[in-house]
């Protein structure tokens, strides 16, 4: 009986931690209008990937957008926009 109670408590705690971590993840799309060549999206993706808390970043020359998934407890949209601006590609949050 005690083992069953411990297992249940562990599962509840694990679920609480997992759901909290999922809630902290956000995905945003940034408009990056100055991308003009095939290496631009690579540079934008690399800059975004270096931001603490970013778990996934992609950039497209065709749409001139970057899609970023990040942990909002570690970074924010302003830091993402700063990362692209710092390499010469100012960006804005696409709504």
| pLDDT tens column, 18-59 | 545 556 999 999 999 999 999 999 999 999 999 999 999 999
Evaluate whether 93 touches 28 at the Cβ level (below 8 Å): yes
Evaluate whether 84 touches 47 at the Cβ level (below 8 Å): yes
What's residue 95's pLDDT?
A: 83
Cα–Cα distance measured from residue 81 to residue 91, given in angstroms and rounded to the nearest whole number? 5
Q: Which residue has the tokens 């562990």?
A: 10
Evaluate whether 47 touches 83 at the Cβ level (below 8 Å): yes
According to CATH, the topology of domain 25-93 is Alpha-Beta Plaits (3.30.70)
Mean pLDDT in residue range 3-27: 64
pLDDT digit string, tens, across residues 82-94: 999 999 999 999 9
Evaluate whether 30 touches 80 at the Cβ level (below 8 Å): yes
Cα–Cα distance measured from residue 36 to residue 66, given in angstroms and rounded to the nearest whole number? 14
Mean pLDDT in residue range 61-72: 98
Mean pLDDT in residue range 60-66: 98
């Amino acid at each position: 009986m005690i083992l069953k109670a411990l297992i249940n408590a562990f599962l509840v705690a694990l679920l609480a931690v997992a759901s909290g971590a999922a809630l902290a993840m956000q995905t945003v799309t940034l408009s990056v209008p100055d991308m003009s060549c095939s290496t631009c999206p690579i540079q934008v993706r690399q800059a975004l990937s270096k931001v603490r808390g970013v778990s996934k970043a992609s950039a497209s020359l065709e749409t001139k957008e970057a899609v970023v998934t990040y942990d909002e407890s570690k970074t924010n949209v302003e830091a993402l926009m700063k990362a692209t601006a710092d390499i010469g590609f100012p960006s804005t949050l696409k709504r």
